[in-house]
Structure 1
């Protein structure tokens, strides 16, 4: 049974009505438990369905610079998979370290971790120092949790010492009926998108934007050839769109013909199917003969080597990425889903004057630039499938085993898919076919 606040949010109540209602004492949330940290020791398949639970949790107190969000929808990111696997280390260590700073941050050290780094929803309460947002506003959440009193934050939000990934390195994340966020994480929800479409975008789209377009990334220019690993995944699907928007030439790497067709529907003409390229040899791209074979395939498709390699796969592909980038090219990396310890032949880096650039998340300005692109219909959601919150384990498992394309959404308070559009005319202009390109 829903609380009066939750029922009002679902019914579309305005700010005045929501302000008059009491905040519930507890709410359902997807959590991992501190007591389970060692459950996967000596196990090869760390099935996240065994470690992710939906439980009733107490409502946290709100700090002056925070907002309480009624979460309509969220999404699965790979950091939720890491949290649920307790790798590369249990995230309770992040929460304990955060709590040592004292004050409001001490709230985060709990025997459970509410996960989730994406969300769309409705503001139901604001702290006393929140100025630009009010109860009733429809918002999406930037996952960059920053310390506004750190001088480096004012140079770049991602450089501040207190910068964290919300819902991964903090508690009270988005896979829940309610979430706590700082006011500096709030952005207006694109009016043409449904709750689940809007929730699917912030983390992955902004990360890809910073990597390719932002001044601190690879700084892609018109005509650049960009090799995109995992081109129909959460990150890659947005990278391909950004390359096309910026006048670049994407070369998308996928692992099935069905995914290749999705890429072509986005306008990516150069597609490499790893399944065909590897021809039954799963380690081919970890060896020089495989790198050369792939380089030959790229040149056959676009006539030249990549200016930029969009890298987030990690151990399995990193050596190939360093080899495949052209002389003077750039490997831009934001993650390592197949392993953090990379081995590559450094001669291809130093003798051919290549660069490896690390990139992490996106600052609020970059986030807002990406959010504007969605509002304009210049980017479209990569949402492929939506689960109910009670099915969060299955949703995360599909990402863990790479059985998905694009982003996997999770309905939280939204009772069904398709709700939340407040400007149907803009949606009609963008077109349902584009907006649902990734839908199963």
Structure 2
């Protein structure tokens, strides 16, 4: 592993990084590597513990694991950096169910897939690194290519997946519903998960947008989501967080009008740094949409709608960008404009939603479910990053050994933007190949750092 790292590091000081990295094909593949895992024997460790008190640091372990066999159409990637997503938090606290069920189900589909059904699960759904090997039939990628990986894993043996790969019956999220994820020194991906690494970004910056940027792109921009257009008023919950920070940028970049909902003055300031002018600090303004665990407060929905119209000059949101779920969904359905769209991709505050259906059916509103992105959508989202139109939102990075702490911070919502993890990269700032483009966007690239 050290020889691989040295070869990648040598490219940083080279006038011809691609030539340096091409030599990586001649290095042997290690028989094992370090990966962050959850263990099947510990899936009941949090039984009876409230969700908020479950501690990812107790369940995430860094251990040596065997390097898996590479199958046709796959690639083995030396992972320089990864990032924390909520699906890794869910995996680490075994909610809403143990991911070992996913691995067992996948393992039954084919002899090759059986590799994934193991008593440990190497987690992580983001990665930036260098291709080490490719399997039979791979022609687009070769050893030495600098890449980022999106997290859609599909088999594409069923006709249903060939219009929109997210509809493939064997669609899975890599590193969550499959093994050999990105929070590790090596990762196994399908070749159609790979995209070019943005040349002006460091490894940890390039690794951070993958899941959340692609998810926000499909949710807001794609015709599979809300099909956002210029001038749309877009209400964005958690607008400075992992998902919301990309939704805010995509809204601004696409000519829409973001209304950013946050929970502190610091988060409000980050939204303004992204160019958003309309910001609601829901804590400072005392919005409480539930009076207790069973009872919502429609008067608060109305007060919230009035506040939005006050900011927009009387307009309701054309689109509500939903992901908190239970806590906010009733308010989201209420405040969306007549004929508007609530598009949802997650439920970080709870999966069971309650809303008053009268405001949906009588006002002709739509609820659209959106899950990650297909390859085309992920590629377009990554292209915007590579062009310097959308920027990473890394606020802090951790070493691979500290992944549990990084996941704990995300679980406690004690973070801004994205939390990165250095896997093979020994420090931040490595891997930049286009310093001129970086210099033009340095302020935007670094605006979340230290928050």
Runs of 4+ off more than 2 Å: 2-17, 281-286
Q: TM-score, normalised by structure 2?
A: 0.95
Q: Is the 8 A contact 2:33 2:184 kept in 1?
A: yes
- Look up the match of 1:18: 24
Unaligned runs of 5+ in 2: 12-18
Aligned-partner Cα distance in 2 for 1:25–1:231: 43
- Pick from 340, 343, 351 the counterpart of residue 332 of structure 1: 343
1:279-312: per-residue Cα shift (whole Å, max 9, x none)? 7x57369411111111111111112110100000
1:261 equivalent to 2:269? Answer yes
Q: Say which SS state the counterpart of residue 212 (structure 2) adopts.
A: helix
CA separation in 1, counterparts of 2:66 and 2:402? Answer: 21
Q: Which residue of 2 aligns with 1:118?
A: 126
Partner of 1:33: 39
**Correspondence 1:192-341 to 2 at 5 A:** 192-278=200-286, 283=290, 286-303=296-313, 304-341=315-352
Compute the displacement of 1:7 (Å).
3.2
- Contact map agreement 1:75 1:118 (CA 8 A) in 2: yes
SS of aligned partner of 1:55: strand
Secondary structure of 1:50's partner? helix
1:10 Cα offset (Å) = 3.3
Deviation at 1:4, TM superposition (A): 2.5
Match of 2:4 in 1: 5
User: What CA distance in whole angstroms lies between the structure 1 residues aligned with 2:409 and 2:253?
Assistant: 29
Q: Pick from 47, 57, 79: which aligns with 1:49? A: 57
Q: Is the 8 A contact 2:7 2:21 kept in 1?
A: no
Alignment correspondent of 1:162? 170
CA distance in 2 between partners of 1:276 and 1:18 (Å): 53
Question: Does the aligned pair in 1 maintain the 2:180–2:188 contact within 8 Å?
Answer: yes
Deviations along 1:56-91, one digit per CA (max 9) or x if unpaired, are 111111001100000000000000000001000000
Aligned mates of 1:286, 1:406 — CA distance in 2: 29
Instruction: Return the offset for 1:149.
Output: 2.1
User: C-alpha separation between the residues in 1 aligned to 2:5 and 2:200?
Assistant: 23
2:354 aligned to which of 333, 343, 351: 343
With the length of structure 1 as denominator, give the TM-score of the two structures.
0.97
Q: Structure 1 residues 255, 156: closer, same or farther in 2, change over 3 A?
A: same
CA deviation profile, 1:312-332 (whole Å, cap 9, x unmatched): 000000111000101111000
Specify the SS of the correspondent of 2:284. Answer: helix
Conserved? CA contact 2:342–2:366, under 8 Å: yes
Does the aligned pair in 2 maintain the 1:218–1:357 contact within 8 Å? yes
| 2:448 paired residue number | 438
Cα RMSD (Å) of the superposition?
A: 1.3
- Structure-1 residue corresponding to 2:72: 64
**Alignment pair present for 1:399 and 2:410:** yes
Do the aligned residues in 1 keep the contact of 2:289 with 2:297 (CA within 8 Å)?
A: no
Aligned ranges 1:77-116 → 2 under 5 Å: 77-116=85-124
Task: Determine the C-alpha separation between the residues in 1 that align with 2:328 and 2:93.
Answer: 22
- Number of paired residues? 437
Q: Distance in 2 between matches of 1:86 and 1:131?
A: 38
Distance (whole Å) between structure 1 residues aligned to residue 260 and residue 431 of structure 2: 32
**8 A contact 2:73–2:138 mirrored in 1:** yes
The question of whether the paired residues in 2 share the 8 Å contact of 1:15 and 1:134 is answered with no
2:166 counterpart SS class: coil
- Structure-2 separation of matches of 1:287 and 1:239: 27
| More displaced 10-residue stretch of structure 1: 173-182 or 144-153 | 144-153
* Distance in 1, Cα, partners of 2:204 & 2:91: 22
Q: Distance in 2 between matches of 1:28 and 1:10?
A: 19
Do the aligned partners of 1:139 and 1:189 also contact (CA within 8 Å) in 2?
yes
1:137 aligns with 2:140: no
Aligned-pair distance for 1:222? Answer: 1.1
By how many angstroms is 1:274 displaced? Answer: 1.1
Are positions 1:370 and 2:377 aligned together?
Answer: no
SS in 2 for 1:14: helix
* Alignment partner of 1:171 is 2:179: yes
Conservation of the 8 A alpha-carbon contact between 2:153 and 2:172: yes
Alpha-carbon distance in 1 for matches of 2:412, 2:85: 13
- Unpaired segments of 5 or more residues in structure 1? none
